[in-house]
Each structure stands twice: as C-alpha cells, then as structure tokens.
Chains A and B, each alone.
Chain A
Amino acid sequence: MDFLNAIILLLNYIFVPALTYGSQLALGAIFVTLIYGILRFANFATGDMMAFGTMVTILITWYFQSIGISLGVLPTALLAIPFAIIFMIGYMLFIDKFVFRYYRVNKSPPVQLAMVSIGVMFVTQAVVRIIIGPADQRFFDGERFIIKAREFKEMTGLNEGLAIKSSQVLTIFITLILVSILFWFLNKTKTGKSMRAYSDNEDLALLSGIDPKRVVMITWIIAGILATIGGALYGLDKSFKPFTYFNNMLPIFAAAIVGGIGNPFGAFLGGYVIAFSEIFITYAYKKFFMYILPESMEPETLVQLLSTDYKFAVSFSILVIVLLYRPNGIFKGKVL
C-alpha cells in the first residue's frame, strides 16, 4: 500500500505536471527549430509571438462567451483557436513580408536576422501589452478537473490523491496529435520533403526545382499554428501573462538546443527532457521516502537537490552542459 502511495505521489506531483509542461515547451521548441532549420536564424521573438497568438485566442473566446457560444464541459477557447490560427498566420506572413524577407533576399548573416527578430520581439510585446494589458488573464471555462484528489482517494482508498486537470489532458492530447500530423507532413508529403531538402541544402534544393518562396511561406504557416496552439494551451493550463511568455522563451530555447536545433523530433523530446529535469531536481522527496523507507530511516530534511527557486537555472545548466559536450544536441541537429 505504501508503495502504491509513493507511486501516486510521484505521478501527481512530478509526472503529470512535467508531461504537461513538457508538451507546452515541445510545441515552442519545434517552432524555434523550424524557423532555425529553414530560415536559419534564432528567433528571439518566439515567446512574444506565442503571447500574441494566445491574446487573439482570448479575445475571440471572450467574444464567443459574450454571444453565448460554449462547448459545455470543454473550454470555449478550443473553438476560438482555429480562428486565432488564421489571424496568426496572417500576422506571421505580414512580418515576413515587411521585415524578414529583405534580409533573406540579401543573404544577410544569421546574426543580423537574430537582431531583427529582437526588433520584432519589442514590437510584438508592445502590441500585446497595448491591446490586452500586462495583467494576468484567465480564460479557462468548462469542467476544471477530470479526477479530483478527494474523489480519487475515496475511489481507491489510498492516502495520496491524484488530481488531473482537464487542461493537462487536453494539452498532452492536442500536442501528441499535432506533432504526429507535423511529422507525417514532414516525412510523407511532397511539400514536407521539399522543406526538409531546403533545410538540408538550400542550393541543391533550388537546383531540384523547389520554390523557396513556397517553402518559406509554409514554414511561417506551420509556425503560426504551433505558436497559437502552444501559447493557448499554456494559457489554459496556467494563465496568460505577457511577461511569463517572454520568460518562457528561455526554456524553449534550451529545449530546442538540447534536442539538436534544426531537428523537430529532437526539439519535441528536448521539451520533455527540460521539463522533467526541472521538476525532478527541484522536487522535495521527503514524503516519497517516508512511504518507501522503514520508519527508522525516514529523512529529516526535505531531500531536495535544489530549491524551487532554481527551477529555470536547472534547465539552463543542462543546456550549458549539452553545449559543452555535444554542441549539436542530443540528437544530431541541423537536418530537418
């Protein structure tokens, strides 16, 4: 029984939150990696683009709520996401046309494009804050929990409860579907293959008759989809605050690089690597050991490797270590 309690404890406090957080990071990391692989620059506007997509979702959700449309037990935001995606794709293509295209055509060095993306970051951040303000926004409606901790305890008779929020299940579920579609698209369709070819060797791809404009356009479209869904899922699970989204850019970068930048599958796994290590290392295992160890050996301290203050620092340290020993990431990067 104690052993089961210990397992449930870990599930509740480590596994489910880490899987959710990892999914959110994974979507952002694939976004970063796609831009890096095909457009060849580090996009510092990632977090703010995600914030922008989420903001549009929230605005449309509010509109739906005001005219009385809802999805019952599911959050209304799910209905708003497709419309937000359309808007977001327009925004991405707009930015590309008026900002990034000039440097791409002139074959500017990647550093310059990264600087330009900082300009885009400032502007996007300003637009988001001017429209919706810097405050916390919660837009989750519908049923909050799938299993409540108390119900779980009553059902199983265990001491430890397992609480699963519907936003967590939705996040994991949607991420898996979206990522499977994306990998199917990249590996099986002709367009996807042309994108991979373009990422691998631009000149060869041009020689084989691949239209770079089309590849770039599709990249931005996918980026728009990923940014909106990734941002909206994060906002549904936690809450929407522009500053948090900007800060999330750092673990997202860490995930993308750990997985091997330019490699979507690596980025996908990188998200989970970062999320799990952050939570594993900063969790206090005292209660866990109380369950599995005999009473005489129970620990007196919290048995915490690092305090939760260092949550971000953990992922950054992992990144630094990976950069030192495997600069190409855990999975070889730079090939889509």
Chain B
Amino acid sequence: MRKNLNIILAYAIMMGLIILVGIFQSWNVALSIFNMCLISAVMTMGANVQWGYAGLINFGLMGYAALGGLAAVLISVDPVPEAWSAGGFDILMCLWLIIAIVFLIRFILKNFEKSKIRTYGIAGIIIAGIVIIRITSESGIEAIEAVNPATTGFLGGLGLPIVFSWIVGAFFAAGLAFIVGKVALGLRADYLAIATLLISEIVIAIIKHEDWLARGVKNVIGLDRPVPYEVNLQTTEWFINLVARFNSGKLELISNIADKQAALNQLVIEGSSVFVKLCYSGLFLIVVVALLIVTQKALYSPWGRMMRAIRDNEEAANAMGKNVVKQHLLIFILGSAIVGIAGAMLVTQDGLFTPGSYRPMRYTFLIWVMVIVGGSGNNFGAILGGFAVWFLWIEAAPISLFLINLFTVGLPETHELKVHLTESVPYFRYLMMGMGLLLIMRYRPKGILPEKIEIK
C-alpha cells in the first residue's frame, strides 16, 4: 500500500481534476475528456511497451492508429455490391498479383546468393510489378470510384459490428509493424525514429489517396455505433424514467406540469448524451484494464526481465543466448498492435474516419510527450501521462485565457496586444506541451511515475 502511495495519489489528483471539470464546465465535457484520455492511455501503453520495455523508438504511431481506423471502416461499413461488381474483380486480381510478387521475392531471397544481380533483379521485379498493378487496377478503380461518388465510391466493408474492428485493427497494425520491423529495426535509434516516421507518412499517403479503399480525403462518416444513439434514447421509456428518478428532487420543486415536462425533456437530452459517453467509457475502461493487466503480467514475467536485459545491454543479452533481433521484432509488433487498437477505438468513438487528420504532431509527438511525461517503463506512469497530457491539451485554452487576462489586467479590452493574444489562445497548448516536456526531461527525466524494478 505504502509504496504505491504516489501512484494512488497521482491518479486521485487526475480524477479530481476531471470531476472538477464536470462540476464547473459540464459533465459532457468531462466525460469526453475522460474518454479521449482512455484512448490516449491505450496509445501510450503501446508506445511504452516499445520504448519503456525494449528501448525501441517508434515515431510512426500515427500510421498504426490510422490503420486501426481503417479497420473500423472496413469492418463496420456495409458492403457496396455495385462497386464490387464494377471493379471488385480487378482489385482482387491486384491483390493476388501483390501476393505473387511477395512470394517471388521471397523465393529469390532464399534461393540465390546475395549479389548485385539479385538486388537489381528484385528492384526490377518490384518496378515491373508496380507498373502491371497500375495498368490492371486503373479501370477497376475508376469504375469503383464512379459508383455513387457522393456517398460511397468505395468497396465498403463487411458490415459487422464495429467492436470487432478493435481486434482486426490490432492485426492490421501488427502486419505493418512486421514489415517495418523487418526493414528498419536494424537501424540505430535516431535513424529508426526517422525511418518509422517516414514509413508511416507513406502509409497515410496511401490511405488518403486510394479512394476505392476508404474514400480517402472524402472521409467516411456515420459509422455504426456499439452503443445506443441519443435520439433513440430520448424516446425510450425506461431511460426517461431513469432520468426522472435521478432528478426527482429537482423536478419536484417545479409545480407547473408544462414546465415540469419541459425541464424533464431538457434533462433527458442532456442525460442521453452523458449516458452514451458513459457507455463508451465503460467499453474503453474494459480495454484499458485488460491491457494493463496483461502488460503488468508481462513486465514482471521472465519475458519482461529478458526485455529489460536486452534494453539495458544488448550485447550481454545476446551473449546469454537471447535472440535480440527476434525479440525486438516481437515487441515492435505487440506495441504497434496496441496502438492499432487505440486507432480503432478512436474511430469508433468519433463515428467517422478522416485520413487527413492523422498528422505527426497529434498522433506521434503528442503521444511521445505523454510517454515521457508519465514515465516510460511504468505502465501506470504511461496511462497517467496519457490522462495528464490530454487533459492539459484540452484545458490549455481556458487556462491560458485566464493567464492572459491575469497578466494584461491593466490594459484596456481593445488594446492591440490583448486582442492578439486572445486570438492566438489555441496555440498556447503547444507552448504548454513543449515547456512541460522540457521541464520533465530536465528535472525528472524518468517521468512523473518512474520505472521501478521490483525483485521478488
């Protein structure tokens, strides 16, 4: 109990802050912050598995999150039969072609000695493959994109419940991580950071511009939800009764029946959106707790000890007979899969998929700030980082507005400086993030909740 005091204290403060937002702003805002905090926490856990456990830098988090989001679209959207009949065959043929090329390259890699001819041969096969794929797919893609472009214009998905996409998103991300890991994990730390970042940019460029896949920058909106819709809730008998019972004290004070009904309606509208957010919170909490249990178990297992050994001294671990390359690849895949889950959760919550929004600032660097601030190597720290940084990210605007007003209290309302500063309030969040990161790196380099190794 005592040694966990700082963890309990830190989480209590965090929950207190969110409750304060609920009291002073609104419960709706507080819950949406809480939900995003939970999603951020999943992402930070993924990054923490890679960085904290194994010391691998992955600046490509946004690519894995985007793949998770893509999974949500491909699982939940109903299939578009017209598009399938228009160009489905061409797309499937291309898929087979890609698989054939991959196996051909594998065959060449296995059966020929490493030489310049082999390298050029593989390059030639890839280039020829790209050209053939472009030629075969062009007509199919055009046909698919011509099918009702305002609403579909893509192949659609499988029409399954969107929650399945959380698992599929993990597999998508794991698949990408396998390729990236095979290609880039041999690189030195800072090269690895840059390489993963750039590969993710390529992945996002593909998702953005291949409209037949997920409508690209035209976005997919109105994805099915795993939780009830507000509109349906507002007309459901049991929900109205529930709201009435919750607020019976408040409602009894109103004597006029018409006023009472109006007040109840208002409460039901507010309550429905809070209820929906609570449902999401419940779903997300299940994921966070499950992942936390698994990652904690892993951290204190022999496997976790081996990972730490590899992180702290690669050569020594190698000399002890541990397969460093294999373990690095494994942990890279696991961490990326967790980020993929988070990406699918995010799209599930928003109900829309916007490939244009996956930018390195928001989905890579901010997540890294969370990991570093929270405490790398410590799962509780990573989750806390996700909560604290996201909270600050959202509440930075009101806080900085308050500070600006405090410091310019002597100036008149129309003073140029004051107006300018008030207008640029949204950008103070970057300042706060940067200062926070710099201060933590300088004075508490292990984060708010540092890693502690317990030897049992």
Q: Which of A109, A120, A250, A327 contacts B187 (CB 8 A)?
A: A327
Interface centre among A116, A119, A133, A250 (most CB of B within 10 A): A119
Instruction: A111 to B50: give the CA distance in the assembly, Å.
Output: 14
B 384-407 to A, binary, CB cutoff 8 A, 1 in contact else 0: 000000000000000000000000
Instruction: A313 to B200: give the CA distance in the assembly, Å.
Output: 10
Which segment of B4-12, B274-282, B365-373 sits at the interface? B365-373
User: Chain B: how many interface residues by the 8 Å CB criterion?
Assistant: 42
Q: Are B365 and A121 in contact (CB under 8 A)?
A: yes
Q: Is B261 an interface residue (CB 8 A)?
A: no
Q: Are A130 and B421 in contact (CB under 8 A)?
A: yes
Q: Are B369 and A118 in contact (CB under 8 A)?
A: yes
Q: Which residues of B contact A134 (CB under 8 A)?
A: 427
Q: Are A312 and B437 in contact (CB under 8 A)?
A: no
Q: Which of A42, A127, A307, A323 contacts B431 (CB 8 A)?
A: A127
Q: Are A129 and B430 in contact (CB under 8 A)?
A: yes
Q: Which residues of B contact A123 (CB under 8 A)?
A: 430-431, 434-435, 438
Instruction: A123 to B368: give the CA distance in the assembly, Å.
Output: 15
Within A107-136, the residues touching B (CB, 8 Å) are 109-112, 114-116, 118-127, 129-130, 133-134
Q: Is A184 an interface residue (CB 8 A)?
A: no
Interface centre among A42, A301, A316 (most CB of B within 10 A): A316
Knowing A119-B441, A123-B430, say if A254 contacts B205 (CB, 8 Å). no
Knowing A111-B189, A123-B434, say if A130 contacts B427 (CB, 8 Å). yes
Instruction: A317 to B205: give the CA distance in the assembly, Å.
Output: 12
User: Chain A: how many interface residues by the 8 Å CB criterion?
Assistant: 45
Instruction: A309 to B355: give the CA distance in the assembly, Å.
Output: 13
Q: Which of A312, A313, A323 contacts B195 (CB 8 A)?
A: A323
Instruction: A44 to B361: give the CA distance in the assembly, Å.
Output: 11
Q: Is A1 an interface residue (CB 8 A)?
A: no
Q: Which residues of A contact B372 (CB under 8 A)?
A: 115
A-B contact count (CB 8 A): 116
Within A312-328, the residues touching B (CB, 8 Å) are 312-313, 316-317, 319-320, 323-325, 327
In the complex, the chain A residue whose C-beta lies closest to that of B424 is A130
Q: Are B209 and A310 in contact (CB under 8 A)?
A: yes
Contact surface of B with A, Cβ cutoff 8 Å: 57, 119, 138, 183-184, 187, 189-191, 193-195, 197-199, 201-202, 205-206, 208-209, 361, 365, 368-369, 372, 421, 423-424, 427-431, 433-435, 437-438, 441-442, 445
A325 to chain B, nearest CB (A): 7
A148 to chain B, nearest CB (A): 33
Q: Which of B138, B205, B421 contacts A312 (CB 8 A)?
A: B205
Q: Are A111 and B190 in contact (CB under 8 A)?
A: yes
Q: Are A119 and B209 in contact (CB under 8 A)?
A: no
In the complex, the chain B residue whose C-beta lies closest to that of A134 is B427
B363 to chain A, nearest CB (A): 14
In the complex, the chain B residue whose C-beta lies closest to that of A132 is B424
Q: Is A99 an interface residue (CB 8 A)?
A: yes
Q: Which residues of A contact B430 (CB under 8 A)?
A: 122-123, 125-126, 129
Q: Which of B138, B197, B208, B434 contacts A122 (CB 8 A)?
A: B434
Q: Which of B190, B202, B423, B435 contacts A316 (CB 8 A)?
A: B202
Known contacts A123-B438, A129-B427, A317-B202; 18 further A-B pairs (Cβ under 8 A): A42-B193, A111-B189, A111-B193, A116-B438, A119-B437, A119-B438, A121-B434, A126-B429, A126-B430, A127-B431, A130-B421, A250-B197, A313-B205, A316-B202, A319-B194, A323-B191, A323-B195, A327-B191
Q: Are A323 and B187 in contact (CB under 8 A)?
A: yes
B357 to chain A, nearest CB (A): 13
Instruction: A133 to B191: give the CA distance in the assembly, Å.
Output: 32
Q: Which residues of B contact A313 (CB under 8 A)?
A: 201-202, 205-206
Knowing A115-B368, A316-B199, A320-B195, say if A309 contacts B427 (CB, 8 Å). no
Q: Which of A102, A119, A126, A320 contacts B198 (CB 8 A)?
A: A320
Can you report 22 A-B residue pairs in the complex whose CB atoms are below 8 A from each other?
Answer: A42-B190, A109-B189, A115-B441, A119-B434, A122-B430, A122-B433, A122-B437, A123-B431, A126-B429, A129-B424, A130-B424, A130-B428, A130-B431, A246-B361, A250-B197, A254-B198, A257-B191, A312-B205, A316-B198, A316-B199, A319-B194, A323-B187
In the complex, the chain A residue whose C-beta lies closest to that of B204 is A313
Contact surface of A with B, Cβ cutoff 8 Å: 41-42, 44, 99, 102, 109-112, 114-116, 118-127, 129-130, 133-134, 246, 250, 253-254, 257, 301, 307, 309-310, 312-313, 316-317, 319-320, 323-325, 327
Instruction: A5 to B385: give the CA distance in the assembly, Å.
Output: 60
B120 to chain A, nearest CB (A): 11
Q: Are B365 and A118 in contact (CB under 8 A)?
A: yes
Q: Are B184 and A323 in contact (CB under 8 A)?
A: yes
Q: Are A118 and B427 in contact (CB under 8 A)?
A: no
Q: Are B198 and A111 in contact (CB under 8 A)?
A: no
Q: Which residues of A contact B208 (CB under 8 A)?
A: 309
Q: Which residues of A contact B183 (CB under 8 A)?
A: 320, 324
Q: Which residues of B contact A130 (CB under 8 A)?
A: 421, 424, 427-428, 431
Instruction: A316 to B206: give the CA distance in the assembly, Å.
Output: 13
Knowing A316-B202, A324-B183, say if A126 contacts B434 (CB, 8 Å). yes
Instruction: A44 to B193: give the CA distance in the assembly, Å.
Output: 10
In the complex, the chain A residue whose C-beta lies closest to that of B203 is A313
Knowing A129-B424, A313-B206, say if A319 contacts B198 (CB, 8 Å). yes
Instruction: A121 to B424: give the CA distance in the assembly, Å.
Output: 18
Q: Which residues of B contact A325 (CB under 8 A)?
A: 119
Q: Are B57 and A126 in contact (CB under 8 A)?
A: no
B430 to chain A, nearest CB (A): 4
A213 to chain B, nearest CB (A): 20
Q: Which residues of B contact A250 (CB under 8 A)?
A: 197-198, 201
Q: Which of B138, B427, B438, B445 contacts A126 (CB 8 A)?
A: B427
Q: Are A42 and B435 in contact (CB under 8 A)?
A: no
Q: Which residues of B contact A254 (CB under 8 A)?
A: 198
Q: Which residues of B contact A309 (CB under 8 A)?
A: 205, 208-209
Q: Which residues of A contact B189 (CB under 8 A)?
A: 109-111
B48 to chain A, nearest CB (A): 14
Q: Are B441 and A112 in contact (CB under 8 A)?
A: yes
A110 to chain B, nearest CB (A): 6
Q: Which residues of A contact B433 (CB under 8 A)?
A: 122
